Amino acid sequence: MKKIVAALVMLPLVAASSFAASPADNYPNKPIRMIVPYPPGGGFDVVGRLLGQRLAERLKTQVIIENRAGANGNIGSIAVAKSDPDGYTLLMGGIGPNAINPSIYGQQAGFDPIKDFAPVMLVATFQNILVVNPQLPVKSVKELIAYAKANPGKLNYASAGSGSTQHLSGELFKTMAGIDMTHVPYKGSAPAITSTLANETSLIFNSTPTTLPHVKGGKLRALAVTGKKRSGEAPDVPTIAEAGLPNYEVLGWYGVLAPANTPKEIVNKLNAELVAITAIPEIRARFQVLSIETASGTPKQFEDYIKKEVTKWAKVVKDSGAKAD
């Protein structure tokens, strides 16, 4: 009889525990802050604001975009890594801060790209385009490689800064082609491409939408794009792999991350919203104008993707000897 009474006493406790509230049930109940680790106006900022606006509409809360620039994305990334893991601080991350910087800056990066974040979703990918100043006597990737081998150390290439996709696109190209080029970092894409236009630097691996107008105006010559497939905005321009350097590929990306230990229920809720947002035709169209392709997937798939990217770029940095100039 005593055992039966004890069992009956325990029933409400069991029932109550089975209906325990999920951390996501009351989420969000205050504004969410999305940190963009770069200045306003760039790709990270544009993508972050597009996603933030839609997240605010769907979650019925305010999503505040905060530009926390500095150290090529490291400062904003550190801020998120050290934030409370409650889902109210997110990072508009990407290939630079979350895959390349840890190898370029080492411990000075100030965060671990795997241990310090909870990946939410890969939201978009993009590729760069390799262009040269028309005064350089080359019209193809093969000719560029031949020229570099015949003139070791003569070529220099511009980038938006150490650790940027422009920088590592060039380092990977150097390593795979077996050539010598000098990296010239600038504080942003605008001054970098201006230097190539002025023939202060010979070439640049730059974003397609900002570079094509110069190509169409005859001020720059396009040789190839860095992805696995041709760009819809420049279908006549081959990939670098097609043009003479098999297996070459650089695909930039953007993704949303939260601090490590953010409850899985909240991460999954955010993921579901982002999956829905990146499927909206208007969002896809806006990204396409920017030569950006929408992506999707689970938090686990994004985590695996980041790990592969970190490994890939660590090897590129080591093989090329790339440094934070």
In which element (H, E) is residue 146 found?
A: helix 141-150
Q: What is the spatial distance between Cα 279 and Cα 267, in angstroms, rounded to a whole number?
A: 18
- The pLDDT of residue 325 is 65
Task: Please report which confidence band the pLDDT of residue 12 belongs to, taking 50, 70 and 90 as the band edges.
Answer: low
Q: Candidates 1.10.3470.10, 3.40.605.10, 3.30.1330.10, 3.40.190.150; correct CATH number of 32-125+252-320?
A: 3.40.190.150
Q: Residue ranges per domain, the chain? A: 32-125+252-320, 128-225
Question: How many Cβ atoms sit within 10 Å of the Cβ of residue 37?
Answer: 30
Its pTM stands at 0.85
* Residue of 300, 270, 288 whose CA lies nearest to 54: 270
- The pLDDT of residue 17 is 47
**Bridge partners, 206 (sequence order):** 129
% helix / strand / coil in the chain, to the nearest 5?
A: 45, 20, 35
CATH superfamily of 128-225: Periplasmic binding protein-like II (3.40.190.10)
Backbone angles phi, psi at 137, to 5 degrees: -80, 55
* 32-125+252-320 matches 128-225 in fold: yes
Q: What is the spatial distance between Cα 170 and Cα 165, in angstroms, rounded to a whole number?
A: 8
Greatest CA separation found in the chain?
97
> Strand locations in the chain, DSSP E?
32-36, 63-67, 89-94, 117-126, 128-132, 156-159, 182-185, 203-207, 221-225, 252-259, 292-294
pLDDT, tens digit, 9 for 90 and up, residues 231-288: 888 899 999 999 999 999 999 999 999 999 999 999 999 999 999 999 999 999 999 8
- Do 322 and 167 touch, CB atoms closer than 8 A? yes
Rounded mean pLDDT of 284-299? 92
Q: What is the spatial distance between Cα 154 and Cα 226, in angstroms, rounded to a whole number?
A: 23
pLDDT, tens digit, 9 for 90 and up, residues 174-200: 999 999 999 999 988 889 999 999 999
pLDDT, tens digit, 9 for 90 and up, residues 79-126: 999 999 999 999 999 999 999 999 999 888 999 999 999 999 999 999
